[in-house]
Structure 1
Amino acid sequence: MFTGIVQGTAEVVAIEEAQAFRTHTIELPDALLTGLELGASVAHNGVCLTVTAVTGRRVSFDLMRETLRVTNLGQLAVGSRLNVERAARFGDEIGGHAMSGHVMGMAELIEVDEAPNNRRLWFRLPAGLERFVFAKGYIGVDGISLTIGAVRDEGRAFCVDLIPETLQRTVLAERQPGDNVNIEVDPQTQAIVETVERVMAARG
């Protein structure tokens, strides 16, 4: 489980390609290396990945074809930066909202609205995810726990407002219109919506 409070960014320093498979290596900040072992979970732009090798500050992870298809990790190149978060431990403060690290798809950044000391980003969702999105609800964007500010276009577009700390700590400050971000819907919202849909369908 993750909290959506990004702990820092990391740079991709190596990529090994294979058929429908990729191994990428990132260089983690020293603060995130303590106690890191093979098999540990680390979120990359909100995607839960498993540590497969540790060599000093360089840590490797395998990406399966489904991960490459559904998320923006397949678009990364050597030199790219990504958001990272170590898995939450029992007793940790949940400053954001509970996140699984299971990305449901990508959204396109369509508009950037600059204002003093903050930035508003508008994203367009893939079809099917709009039913989970509503104003003041939670959403995971590239692994960041954010509150939805507003929705439009029948729920297909939503915005989030970013404070300076989020812009400084994450890669969202680098995003430009046309870029794709990973989206994880709040698991509780997803469960409620899908349960109501099943009940309504059963009742005809």
Structure 2
Amino acid sequence: MYTGIVQGRFALTSVERLDGLNRLKIDLPEHLLVDLVIGASVGMDGVCLTVTEIDQQQVSFDVMAETLRLTTLGELQAGSWVNIERSAKQGAEIGGHNVSGHVDGTVEVVAIEESEYNYEITYRADSALMPYIFHKGFIGLNGCSLTVARVDRAQCHLTVCLIPETLRETTHGDKPVGSRVNVEVDRQTQVIVDTVRAMLIENPELFAAVK
């Protein structure tokens, strides 16, 4: 489990493409290595990965074929910058929202609006995800807990606003129009929507009563 508060952006030192998986290696600073052990979970661009090797400051992860297919991790090369967050400890402050690291897919950057004090990014999402995306709701984008500023359901668009600190600590300011980022919908919202939908399908008279 993660908080969606990215702890920094770091460059991959190597990407090894093997049969059925990619092995990613990255150098982490000392404060992110404290108590880190093989088998621990680390969020990389919003994807929950397992530590497979630690060699001084270099940490290795094996990314399986399904994850490579579903996320942007298969596009990464040595030198690519990624967002990193250690898994949350019991009792830690949740500055964002609960993020599982189980990515639902990707969204595409379709527009960027930048002014002196504002930076807005609009994404196009898969239509299957739109029932779980609401104005002022939570969304996880490349591991960042963000608030949805606007929703255009007709075009399957969602817009977020980024503060300077988020742009400094994450890779979001580096993503041009046409690039993809990993998305995770808010799980609590998903459960509520799916539960209400199932109830209405099983009990259509409830929907008639509401109308």
Match of 1:189, SS state, is helix
Deviations along 1:32-76, one digit per CA (max 9) or x if unpaired, are 111110011000000000000001111000111110011111111
Match of 1:129, SS state, is helix
Give the corresponding residue for 1:132: 132
Instruction: State the shift of 1:19 in Å.
Output: 2.3
Give the corresponding residue for 1:56: 56
TM-score by length of 2: 0.94
For the pair 1:167 / 2:167, whether they are aligned, the reply is yes
Larger Rg over CA atoms: 2
Give the corresponding residue for 2:123: 123
Work out the CA distance in 2 between the residues paired with 1:133 and 1:155.
13
Work out the CA distance in 2 between the residues paired with 1:19 and 1:193.
39
Question: Please, which moves more after superposition, 174-183 or 151-160?
Answer: 151-160
Work out the CA distance in 2 between the residues paired with 1:42 and 1:167.
21
Work out the CA distance in 2 between the residues paired with 1:102 and 1:118.
30
Work out the CA distance in 2 between the residues paired with 1:5 and 1:94.
8
What amino acid is aligned across from residue 123 of structure 1 in structure 2?
Y
Q: Report if aligned partners of 1:28, 1:58 keep a CA contact under 8 Å in 2.
A: yes
For the pair 1:202 / 2:207, whether they are aligned, the reply is no
Work out the CA distance in 2 between the residues paired with 1:19 and 1:156.
36
Q: Report if aligned partners of 1:10, 1:29 keep a CA contact under 8 Å in 2.
A: no
Q: Report if aligned partners of 2:130, 2:153 keep a CA contact under 8 Å in 1.
A: no
Instruction: State the shift of 1:133 in Å.
Output: 0.7
Give the corresponding residue for 1:40: 40
What amino acid is aligned across from residue 130 of structure 1 in structure 2?
M
Give the corresponding residue for 2:207: none
Extract structure 1 runs of 4+ deviating beyond 3 A. Answer: none
Match of 2:128, SS state, is coil
1:6-17 equivalent positions in 2, closer than 5 A: 6-17=6-17
Question: Please, which moves more after superposition, 150-159 or 64-73?
Answer: 150-159
TM-score by length of 1: 0.97
Give structure 1 stretches of 5+ with no counterpart: none
Instruction: State the shift of 1:199 in Å.
Output: 1.0
Q: Report if aligned partners of 2:15, 2:76 keep a CA contact under 8 Å in 1.
A: no
For the pair 1:77 / 2:77, whether they are aligned, the reply is yes
CA RMSD in angstroms, aligned pairs only:
1.0
Give the corresponding residue for 1:147: 147
Instruction: State the shift of 1:153 in Å.
Output: 4.0
Work out the CA distance in 2 between the residues paired with 1:197 and 1:118.
37
Match of 2:127, SS state, is coil
Q: Report if aligned partners of 1:106, 1:180 keep a CA contact under 8 Å in 2.
A: yes
Q: Report if aligned partners of 2:11, 2:82 keep a CA contact under 8 Å in 1.
A: yes
Match of 2:189, SS state, is helix
What amino acid is aligned across from residue 192 of structure 2 in structure 1?
I
Instruction: State the shift of 1:118 in Å.
Output: 2.3
Work out the CA distance in 1 between the residues paired with 2:201 and 2:183.
26
Work out the CA distance in 2 between the residues paired with 1:6 and 1:40.
17
Work out the CA distance in 2 between the residues paired with 1:118 and 1:5.
20
Give the corresponding residue for 2:186: 186
> How many residues end up aligned between the 2 structures?
204
Q: Report if aligned partners of 2:134, 2:151 keep a CA contact under 8 Å in 1.
A: yes
Match of 1:194, SS state, is helix
Instruction: State the shift of 1:110 in Å.
Output: 0.4
